Amino acid sequence: MRILAFGDSFVIGAGDPDHLGWIGRALAGRREITLYNLGVRRETSADIAARWRAEALPRMVDHEPMRIVFSFGCNDCNLEDGALRVPTAKSLLNARAMLTEAARLAPVLMVGPPPTAEPDVVVRAEELNEHLKVLAARLQAPFIDVFRPLAADGLWVREAADWDGAHPGAAGYQRMADLVAAHPAWRTFTGVD
Amino acid sequence: MRILAFGDSFVIGAGDPDHLGWIGRALAGRREITLYNLGVRRETSADIAARWRAEALPRMVDHEPMRIVFSFGCNDCNLEDGALRVPTAKSLLNARAMLTEAARLAPVLMVGPPPTAEPDVVVRAEELNEHLKVLAARLQAPFIDVFRPLAADGLWVREAADWDGAHPGAAGYQRMADLVAAHPAWRTFTGVD
């Protein structure tokens, strides 16, 4: 199986000393899976929407099962010149377009955004997470919500605050990986169950 | 620092149960480095030449040091319908174009191809490795030769033979990572020395 993961700095695992991120950690030991980690730092849903297809095509093959993962949202919720980088309505349009179009190529799954240590951003990210969850349900795309468990647990936000305000270390990424890997939707999606 | 790594299945780490590949392992503990691993399975120098620039652009930033790594060659040496997938002269033209053009964007380093367990391919890959080394020297691009140490050691080829004939497991990738990480060119390139 080959998994293409499109998203932001959390997908690529910025700040992870092991260069795995949550998705590399969630696939630990799964030697038969090739992971194409296509997270890019600072990218919003609009940035990912603009490039995902061009990067997916050279990585798609017919002779092995393919899967596509999306995970984004936090960067949409950051302010730039006093305005949201991407307004919520537009984030949802971007997400709908990506989930719908990618589903024509391969089974698709979305992982919601994690919390951050920045007080204003985290409120908006939690709202966007809820909207994305509703959208995914409407599109019948599996969605894994990690926001509240990571926020409640505190480890993620604490590690992020100790580093650059946004990105945790090995333990935070591992915590998120554990949430994802244990989720029934992930297990079905990656062929464990 | 951000490192963009373009290459083939060895770069992406196909068959590595830890989803690190040699380059993820060579950067272990370097939390300040974001690794964009843009290896793609089965790709020849021609395939990589066709996409590397489009994938580099969204990942380049002005505010952090950038580095570009290339590593390819084995797939060029495979036969398809009785002919080399990429003739040697063309492989070298592709390599020259990539090394030259990428050097305008960021410091560039090339890692030569590893050996394989396939008898005919390995002979051609060793020849191509030598040609690439000469080319890189002419272009004053640092080049790390891993071919002979990995072939002589036997672990890489043995693990590859036990799996799919081409890709080793964790120990083989770690061996290659150790060779790369200890190389003076790598240490300078990644800011250790």
Question: What residues in A contact B40, CB-CB < 8 Å?
Answer: 36, 58-59
Is the pLDDT reported for residue A4 higher than 90? yes
Q: Which residues pair with A6 in a beta bridge?
A: A38, A70
Alpha carbons within 13 A on the beta-carbon side of B81: 2
Q: State the Cα–Cα distance between residues B86 and B78, nearest whole angstrom.
A: 8
In chain B, whose CA is at the least distance from the CA of A25? Answer: B18
Interface contact flag, A17 B36, Cβ < 8 Å: no
Question: What residues in B contact A33, CB-CB < 8 Å?
Answer: 19
Give the residue carrying structure tokens 């990572």.
Answer: B177
Of the candidate ranges A119-128, B47-56, B169-178, the one whose mean pLDDT is the lowest: A119-128
Look up the ipTM and state it.
0.97
Where are the strands (E) in chain B, listed by range?
2-7, 34-39, 66-71, 79-80, 83-84, 108-111, 143-144
pLDDT-derived band of residue A119, with 50, 70 and 90 as boundaries? confident
Is the pLDDT reported for residue B117 higher than 90? no
Interface contact flag, A30 B17, Cβ < 8 Å: yes
Nearest Cα residue to A5 out of A43, A47, A35, A42 = A35
Question: What residues in A contact B55, CB-CB < 8 Å?
Answer: 55
pLDDT at A118: 86
pLDDT tens, A87-99?
A: 999 999 999 999 9
Q: State the Cα–Cα distance between residues B150 and A84, nearest whole angstrom.
A: 51
How big is the A-B interface in CB pairs under 8 Å?
74
In chain A, whose CA is at the least distance from the CA of B35? Answer: A19
Q: State the Cα–Cα distance between residues B44 and B33, nearest whole angstrom.
A: 27
| b/e sequence B119-148, b meaning 16+ C-beta within 10 Å | eebbebbbebbebbbebbeebebbbbbbbe
pLDDT tens, A9-52?
A: 999 999 999 999 999 999 999 999 999 999 999 999 999 999 99
Fold entry, domain B2-189: Rossmann fold (3.40.50)
Interface contact flag, B17 A35, Cβ < 8 Å: no
Tell which phi-psi region holds residue B191, choosing left (phi > 0), alpha (psi between -120 and 50) or beta: left
User: Which of A11, A34, A59 is best to mutate for the B interface (most B CBs within 10 A)?
Assistant: A34
Domain boundaries, chain B: 2-189
Cβ neighbours of residue A27 closer than 8 Å, sequence gap 6 or more: A3, A33, A35, A181, A190, B19
Of the partner residues A28, A31, A58, the one whose CB lies closest to the CB of residue B40? A58
Q: State the Cα–Cα distance between residues B61 and B57, nearest whole angstrom.
A: 9
Question: What residues in A contact B18, CB-CB < 8 Å?
Answer: 20, 24, 28-29
Is the pLDDT reported for residue B35 higher than 90? yes
pLDDT tens, A62-72?
A: 999 999 999 99
Of the partner residues B14, B31, B55, the one whose CB lies closest to the CB of residue A17? B31
Measured in degrees and rounded to the nearest 5, phi and psi for residue A178 equal -65, -40
CB A51 within 8 Å of CB A58: no
CB A106 within 8 Å of CB A143: no
Is the pLDDT reported for residue B62 higher than 90? yes
pLDDT at A104: 98
Run of H or E including B12: helix B9-12
In chain A, whose CA is at the least distance from the CA of B23? Answer: A19
Of the partner residues B19, B34, B59, the one whose CB lies closest to the CB of residue A24? B19
pLDDT at B146: 98
pLDDT-derived band of residue B179, with 50, 70 and 90 as boundaries? very high
> What is the average pLDDT value for chain A, to the nearest integer?
97
Which tokens in the block code for residue A4?
A: 């293409």
